[in-house]
Amino acid sequence: MKVIKVKNYQQLSEIASVMVSDLLVLKPDATLGLATGSTPIGLYQHLINKYQKHKISFKNVKTYNLDEYCDLPKNHQESYYTFMHKNLFDHVDINEENIHIPSSEGDDLEKRCEEYNSMLNRATIDLQVLGIGSNGHIGFNEPNTPFDQETFIVKLTEKTRIDNQRFFNSLDEVPHYAITMGIKNIMNAKQILLLASGKSKAEAIKTLVTGEITEKFPASILKKHPNVIVIIDEEAASLI
């Protein structure tokens, strides 16, 4: 695991975007694993900018998102489907059929998981973008998720619901369940780029960098992956 410390969120976003765009230049039909949340928004803005300057194209890029809330319609303003379109897909030349986001619509959620998992197992993700939860979650793999877990329905911890409350009108509106890639799916990516910014991530980054590998802290498994780059800003790095 290589840790790169940068000054601030702007630098973090810029450096991450160079890594992603270098890949797209070398491999225009790359498969990206994408994340939602506040952290990757700057990265996506830089990628849109590079696309507008004709430096990169998403024409042949395929994407797989980490997760999606249950009990929110796809077009809800806080669904990850909406987030990805608003923050990246609507502004670049990606083909809608190359976009993959877990679907929690319909009755048979177990079937939705199996379908997404089979798709993931047929794909090879060249680069997986990750954020990290303050409790060490990656995707929505909450503490004590088995490391060999594949795509599943997760009950979100209260900590995660409270962390995500800022996107909703009240805590009551934050979904209790989500569908998420499992840790095993994430570990199958050829390369992983984890981004963390701000004081609220400092404790998690300390545990990631200095702690042991344990299912109590899901991100710790990344130490076993051969190709992980962690980019953190000064505030996120303040406890290491």
Binding site for ligand PGA (CB under 6 A): 37-39, 131-133, 137
Q: Given the complex with ligand PGA, which of 23 and 35 has the nearer CB atom?
A: 35
Composition of the chain by helix, strand, coil, percent to 5: 40, 20, 40
The closest residue (CB) to ligand PGA is 37
CA geometry: angle 61, 186, 227, nearest 5 deg: 85
**C-beta of 97: minimal distance to ligand PGA in Å?**
27
Q: How far apart are CA 126 and CA 49, in angstroms?
A: 22
Q: Given the complex with ligand PGA, which of 132 and 174 has the nearer CB atom?
A: 132
Torsion of CA 9, 214, 222, 167, to 10 degrees: -40
From residue 25, alpha-carbon distances to 17, 60, 151, 200, 221 in Å are 12, 11, 30, 34, 30
**C-beta of 134: minimal distance to ligand PGA in Å?**
8
**C-beta of 133: minimal distance to ligand PGA in Å?**
4
From residue 201, alpha-carbon distances to 19, 177, 188, 198, 204 in Å are 22, 23, 25, 6, 5
Give the residue numbers annotated as catalytic, written as ranges: 67, 135, 137, 142
**C-beta of 54: minimal distance to ligand PGA in Å?**
29
Q: Given the complex with ligand PGA, which of 37 and 175 has the nearer CB atom?
A: 37
- Do the Cβ atoms of 63 and 32 come closer than 8 Å? yes
- Do the Cβ atoms of 137 and 35 come closer than 8 Å? no
**Strand 177-180 relative to strand 152-155: parallel, antiparallel, unpaired?**
antiparallel
**C-beta of 140: minimal distance to ligand PGA in Å?**
8
Q: Given the complex with ligand PGA, which of 42 and 104 has the nearer CB atom?
A: 42
- Do the Cβ atoms of 136 and 208 come closer than 8 Å? yes
Q: Given the complex with ligand PGA, which of 41 and 240 has the nearer CB atom?
A: 41
